[in-house]
Each structure stands twice: as structure tokens, then as C-alpha cells.
Amino acid sequence: MAVSTWNLDKAHSEVQFSVRHMMISRVKGEFKEFSAEIQADPEDLTTANIQFTIDVSSVDTGNEDRDNHLRTEDFFDVEKYPNLTFKSASVEKQGDQYAITGDVTMHGVTKTETFTVTSGGVMKDPMSGAEKAGFSVEGTLKRSDYGLTWNAPLETGGVLVSDEVKINMEIQASKAE
């Protein structure tokens, strides 16, 4: 297969995260609004060029008060920094997975990060006839690297919200006509 343009299928894609809360459990959330520009050969991602944009105001943890707090200056500061972006720089095959490295920009700070991508393969959609490709993406970001340092100490030690945020994405894309 050759490098071609792939359009994000939002109905079959999701961007989720989880963070430790009070050092004892994980709180999960997702972003409802995101977009991508994908140039790739889904059978060999080493030549892929990917740009991903997340509207951070679309954060949804299932708790309106928490979501509203995440949108404030304590965390995302959505008025000043409405998007989180990723632009790939290199892709390296590692066994049956890929390490995609690129620049993440969040809260006005840009850092180089690497994510693990597993290809789910390519299939013809029986409903639309379109060629579809699927990918699972995993990674970890440190909030403090991006200036997201709000926290509260716990009387038993530790902090309310961990610095480490786990990222999980399921991406389905359709080959452009």
C-alpha cells in the first residue's frame, strides 16, 4: 500500500485519559472534540505524517464541577490555550508496534513525546464500501512538564492529583477518495 490521506472517523474514534486521584484510584475522562490530518501507509507507518488537535474545552469526566475546574486557569486554561496539539516528527517500527515521536503543545508549552501505536489493520467497511484503518495509541504525559501544577496535599502524605496522565486513543480512519 502507498502513502495516502486518511480522514478521521470520529464516530469510531475516542481520546481518553486517566489520572490517579488521592493516590488510591484512577479517574478517567475523555475529550469529545478532536481532529486529525493523517498521511500514511497503514501497513507501514514509518513514513506517516500525523497532526492531531484536541479541543480541551470538550473535556468530559462525567462530573460537571470537575470538568469546569479542568477548564480553568488551574488546569487547561481553555480561554488562553484552547487546543492541545501533536505533530509527528518520526516513526520507528518496534516489533508489531510503532513508536511515534513528535511535538505535543499544551498550555503554551511544547515538548517532544513518544506514543506507542498498534495497528488494528485495514478493512473494507461493509456498510459504506470505504477502506478503513484502525489504530490504538498509548502514552503518558507529565502535567508539570506543561505547567499544569495545581494540586492539593493530602494529610496522610501524597497529593490529590498525580502528575502522570495516561493517554489512550482508539482511532479509525477512512481512506480519502
Average pLDDT, the chain: 91
What class has domain 4-175? mainly beta
Q: Per residue in 36-95, pLDDT tens?
A: 999 998 888 999 999 999 999 999 999 999 899 999 998 899 999 999 999 999 999 999
The pLDDT assigned to 26 comes to 85
Q: Per residue in 116-153, pLDDT tens?
A: 999 998 999 888 888 999 999 999 999 999 998 877 77
In this structure, which amino acid lies at residue 104? V
Q: Is the CB of residue 18 less than 8 Å from the CB of residue 166?
A: yes
Lowest mean pLDDT among 23-27, 53-57, 83-87, 157-161: 157-161
Provide, rounded to the nearest whole percent, the portion of the chain with pLDDT above 70: 98
Using pLDDT thresholds of 50, 70 and 90, give the confidence band for residue 113: very high
The pLDDT assigned to 155 comes to 79
Using pLDDT thresholds of 50, 70 and 90, give the confidence band for residue 20: confident
Of the candidates 38, 37, 80, 36, the one whose C-alpha atom is nearest the C-alpha of residue 56 is 80
The pLDDT assigned to 174 comes to 92
Q: Domain spans of the chain?
A: 4-175
